[in-house]
A and B are shown apart, each in its own frame.
Chain A
Amino acid sequence: MTIFLKKFGTTLNGRQFGRESFAAFGPSLRDVKDDEKIIVDFEGVVTFTPSWGDEFLGPLSHRFGERLVLKNTENPSVQATLKLLGSIYGTNFLSIF
């Protein structure tokens, strides 16, 4: 499954917005198979912050672990946010380009 973050907007900021985004997408995760990868695609995102990222990527990372794969993470705010969240979660996010 691929999650296209730009469908939530280009300015992904704020815990409240992050929570609402994850809650809205939650039902789509019900049918994920046990061996299926979850690809989060950052293409089109302009501003990405730890507050939004923690509320959205945090639950995904907790549930799917190494099956969570990030794509198109070149944006500098994406890079900076992933670096911080990775250090807090004690994980290195797997990125593909």
Chain B
Amino acid sequence: MYRFILNMSLQLLTISQAANLLGVSIQTLRRWDDSGGFPSTNRETAKHRHYIKSDIENYIKSRISSLSLLKIARNWVANSKGTEPLPDFYCPDISVFQARLTRLENELGNVKRLSRIFPLISAITGEIGNNSFDHNLGNWPDILGIFFAYDLAKGKIVLADRGQGILATLQKVKPELANHRDALRTAFTEIISGRAPEYRGNGLKFVKDVVIANEMSLFFSTGDAKLTIQKNGSSIDVQGSADDLHGCLALITF
């Protein structure tokens, strides 16, 4: 009876439920508990470890405020070992992404300063996310799906995937591509399909055209290459990067 009341008032979670929410393993949570870094709520008296749901949510929020969304996503893509992102950021399949994109579209529509361009922001977000799913369906190296998060107060949208990356995708139809920089430039400038013989692969060209024509910018990175596109940008400036990402990372700023 006592435990039932406690569960009702504090919303206790099992260690498995807490681990899922945090995006870490049960073993990691046990280590955090044993070290006192993130203690369970009733370790002294109960046989099994439990966590107060609001503690978990507050921890996630504190991580978001202390780390930028870009940094969280970058860490996820750069890590040699793949783990699922925090549930709030994770779209394991395109139907989840589509639902969250519709929510983004609604929230963008309520931002007065974006009243003219919000459909374009939503559209390029959709194309980048859709691109990840289209080019990796059935071929995800470790973690299925994408990281997708946004902070409209700061005017930022972040997408990332741990897919094959642009070089491996485009080499299937353009074997002469030798490095990530050439692949990134090709993806944003040439009408070419990574799903040959299908006549496709125009999403990133669309993204580039929209960014150049409007008050927004794009940072995009894959492998050890990165580029930034801004309004009125006349050329695609692809540079080397100190990172070696396992898939793709994108930041839309507006």
Contacts and interface: CB of A to CB of B under 8 A. Distances in A.
Interface of A: 9-11, 13-17, 46-51, 54, 75-78, 80-81, 83-84, 88
B209 A47 contact: no
Main secondary structure of the interface of A (DSSP, over half): helix
B78 interface: no
A47 B105 contact: yes
9 contacts: A13-B126, A46-B109, A47-B101, A47-B105, A47-B126, A51-B134, A84-B205, A84-B206, A88-B199
Contact of A80 (B123, B130, B131): B123
B210 interface: yes
A11 B117 contact: no
Contact of B210 (A13, A51, A80): A80
A87 to B, nearest CB: 8
A74 to B, nearest CB: 10
B26 to A, nearest CB: 34
Which DSSP category, helix, strand, loop or mixed, fits chain B's interface?
helix
Given A49-B127, A84-B202, A84-B205, A14 B133 contact: yes
Nearest to B195: A15
A76 B126 contact: no
Contacts of A83: 209
B127 A50 contact: yes
User: Which range holds the interface residue count of chain B?
Assistant: 20 to 34
Contacts of A78: 119
Interface of B: 94, 98, 101-102, 105, 109, 116-117, 119-120, 122-123, 126-127, 130-131, 133-134, 191, 199-200, 202-203, 205-206, 209-210, 213
A88 B191 contact: yes
B130 A49 contact: yes
Ordered nearest first, which 7 A-B pairs have the shortest CB separation? A13-B126, A77-B123, A77-B119, A47-B122, A11-B102, A14-B130, A50-B206
A20 to B, nearest CB: 11
A11 B41 CA distance: 43
A81 to B, nearest CB: 7
A49 B200 contact: no
Contacts of B205: 84
B130 A13 contact: yes
Contacts of A47: 101, 105, 119, 122-123, 126
B217 to A, nearest CB: 17
A14 B94 contact: yes
B119 A75 contact: yes
A78 B119 CA distance: 9
Contacts of A88: 191, 199, 202
A47 B130 CA distance: 13
